[in-house]
Structure 1
Amino acid sequence: MLKRMNIFLILKFACAAAVVISSFLSLAYPGNQRLATLFTQFLLSLMFLFSGISEFKTNRKTYAIVSFSVSLFAAIVFISTLLLRKG
């Protein structure tokens, strides 16, 4: 079973688990919500990027394009939030 899974699928599931854990932590500790939101947004961007690469390798180009566009949008939101925080 592990031979059939490619590295991008494993990375996608690892990022998904990290997103769930960081979301639970931001709910448990609401005082540090801004940093947790940035971290979760970055992980979501990576998760959709790995998902798009995985879908592209399995020749599902429509889903890959959607995943890449969502990843790009999440990365833009992450960068703009990071810049607004510093400014």
Structure 2
Amino acid sequence: MMYGWDGNGWGVGAWVAMAVLMLIFWGGVVTVVVLLVRRTRPGEGSAALQPPHYDAERILTERFARGEIDEQEFTARRAALRRQE
């Protein structure tokens, strides 16, 4: 006797189970790809790893370089930022 398309096979339940398993499989593949792409983006992750005072210190250095603040104010503010660590 042949098992196949003549109605003696596994039935509709097997087709539904295969469809659900395929959705789970491809969903997992897409999830892994998205996580890998997010992890390997250059520049985005490095800012999150640095403490917040580095950004403030960078802005302070830029203000000093533009001449908006003098050296005394620059060193006082930088020391205050470094004490907050």
TM-score bracket relative to the smaller structure: 0.3 to 0.5
Specify the structure having the higher radius of gyration (Cα): 2
Structure having greater relative contact order (Cα 8 Å, sep ≥ 6): 1
TM-score, structure 2 normalization = 0.35
